[in-house]
């Protein structure tokens, strides 16, 4: 049991205070000291964890009570901190403002909620660009708002001068200032319509940005004081989460178990996949192979299931279309009854047309970019049986996209969910062994999905003539 894990949460009064920059820089600076850093992100994010992973040299992971369940947050933290090796410290970046969570949920799934669950001290990052003594009032409010959340230090960001720093410092009472980061606009991480540009799309530039952040934070934050704060977190009474579903793997030692090949799309166009989802496929008995459409990859010989997660296919349309052989592979695989699961970007790839460019044509659907951002948690009910779920089962997931789809033929929708205005909506496409939807689901919250998909892949592999 891993119990004594030094850890702290990086939070902010709201979005835009620089917590991703500071958190990523802290991970990189601590790693530069020779420490093993376990990187984590509160909420349903894919892009920030990719920068965390680059900074820490190990997979960035998410902590989200809404998607994973409150009871799994500490086990998931411990799993990340012990995989592949034991970490010296865990750094947890928050989401939005410290107390902002699910809409209407009274702070459920907020950074504060996660900080309470993992019993970690909070370091508040405050942007000082447009204030001086008022920063003290902000810090005082956040330190006293919830007595169960220990805001134990502050990092001042965007400080213009020594006089500015002195004025801000004088306003802060009862909490240590752990760092003062100057205004340095030259460190820029480009963004686009869904946030930062993923590491997979700009690895050399991203690496340079992370290196610069490590130097910046190392020079302007008291890392020794931060590590002392992290060490003050109490022991955790829990076992690390396991990707194996409880009760799985009960086959007798002498029984031959097939290892089906599951192709998981990756690379710059499809970089949105939770690490735990892939670990679950492996634990369920699959041989997972990454397929990068932009690298000219095709489906591996003997593919028994295809998983296409989220990403930015709209930014790589010509390159995706140029890999016509892979499009044909996927089309033929689905037509033969092969299990295919697609989330968001995967849905677009399986459609007929995306922004005027032909895709795989598995789902009778046309998609196009819009100006409207659709996002939020969804409590969804399955409307039909499919490779992951059974009709009537409920899952919790999230949407995050700027595309809209139009189905060209009637079919069975995948999900129904309630909207905030009290109305309901249906979404997705399920037919045979094809499951395609905008909904992202974290496997830790629904471990049966990986078991079902691998079992179906095993059956499909057995049905295909050798």
Q: Which residues pair with 379 in a beta bridge?
A: 396
Helix 275-283 × helix 448-463 angle, to 10°: 50
Burial class (CB in 10 A: 0-12, 13-18, 19+), 463: exposed
- What is residue 310's three-state secondary structure? strand
CB of 209 within 8 A of CB of 106? no
Q: Which two tokens stand for residue 96?
A: 């939005």
* Dist. CA 378–CA 397, nearest whole Å: 5
* Dihedral sign (CA 68, 73, 77, 78): negative
* Dist. CA 334–CA 435, nearest whole Å: 10
Note if 128 is an active site residue.
no
CB of 25 within 8 A of CB of 109? no
Q: Which residues pair with 195 in a beta bridge?
A: 192
CB of 403 within 8 A of CB of 370? yes
CA-to-CA separations, 345 to 51, 73, 308, in angstroms, rounded: 20, 27, 7
Q: 138, 344, 347, 450: which one is catalytic?
A: 344
* Dist. CA 38–CA 43, nearest whole Å: 16
φ and ψ of 205, to 5 deg: -65, -40
- What is residue 380's three-state secondary structure? strand
CA-to-CA separations, 149 to 17, 226, 240, 452, in angstroms, rounded: 20, 17, 23, 39
* Dist. CA 250–CA 255, nearest whole Å: 10
Q: Which residues pair with 157 in a beta bridge?
A: 127
Specify the residue for token string 């820029």: 188
Residues identified as active-site: 344
């Amino acid at each position: 049991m891993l119990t004594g894990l030094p850890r702290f949460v990086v939070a902010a009064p709201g979005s835009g205070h620089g917590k991703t920059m500071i958190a990523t820089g802290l991970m990189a600076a601590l790693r530069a000291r020779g420490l093993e850093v376990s990187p984590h992100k509160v909420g349903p994010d894919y892009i920030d964890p990719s920068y965390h992973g680059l900074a820490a040299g190990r997979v960035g992971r998410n902590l989200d009570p809404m998607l994973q369940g409150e009871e799994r947050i500490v086990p998931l933290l411990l799993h990340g901190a012990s995989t592949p090796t034991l970490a010296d410290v865990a750094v947890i970046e928050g989401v939005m403002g410290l107390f902002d969570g699910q809409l209407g949920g009274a702070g459920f799934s907020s950074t504060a909620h996660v900080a309470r669950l993992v019993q970690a001290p909070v370091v508040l990052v405050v942007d000082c660009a447009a204030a001086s003594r008022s920063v003290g009032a902000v810090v005082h409010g956040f330190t006293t708002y919830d007595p169960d959340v220990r805001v134990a230090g502050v990092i001042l960001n965007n400080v213009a001068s020594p006089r500015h720093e002195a004025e801000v410092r004088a306003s802060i009472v009862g909490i240590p200032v752990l760092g003062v980061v100057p205004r340095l606009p030259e460190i820029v991480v480009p963004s686009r319509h869904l946030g930062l540009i993923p590491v997979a799309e700009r690895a050399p530039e991203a690496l340079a940005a992370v290196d610069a952040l490590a130097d910046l934070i190392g020079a302007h934050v008291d890392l020794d004081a931060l590590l002392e704060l992290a060490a003050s977190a109490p022991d955790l009474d829990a076992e690390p989460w396991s990707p194996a579903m409880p009760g799985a793997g009960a086959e007798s030692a002498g029984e031959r178990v097939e290892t089906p090949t599951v192709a998981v799309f990756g690379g710059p166009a499809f970089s949105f996949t939770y690490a735990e989802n892939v670990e679950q496929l492996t634990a369920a008995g699959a041989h997972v192979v990454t397929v990068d459409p932009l690298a000219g990859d095709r489906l591996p010989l003997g593919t028994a299931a295809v998983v296409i997660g989220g990403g930015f296919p709209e930014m790589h349309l010509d390159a995706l279309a140029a890999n016509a052989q892979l499009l044909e592979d996927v089309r033929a695989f689905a037509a033969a009854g092969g299990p295919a699961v697609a989330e968001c970007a995967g849905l677009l790839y399986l459609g007929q047309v995306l922004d005027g460019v032909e895709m795989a044509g598995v789902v009778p659907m046309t998609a196009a970019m819009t100006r409207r951002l659709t996002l939020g948690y969804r409590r969804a009910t399955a409307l039909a049986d499919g490779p992951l779920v059974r009709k009537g089962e409920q899952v919790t997931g999230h949407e995050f996209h700027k595309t809209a789809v139009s189905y060209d033929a009637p079919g069975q929708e995948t999900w129904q969910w309630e909207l905030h205005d009290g109305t309901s909506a249906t979404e997705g496409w399920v037919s045979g062994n094809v499951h395609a939807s905008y909904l992202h689901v974290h496997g830790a919250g629904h471990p049966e999905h990986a078991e079902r998909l691998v079992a179906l892949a095993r059956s499909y592999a057995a049905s295909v003539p050798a």
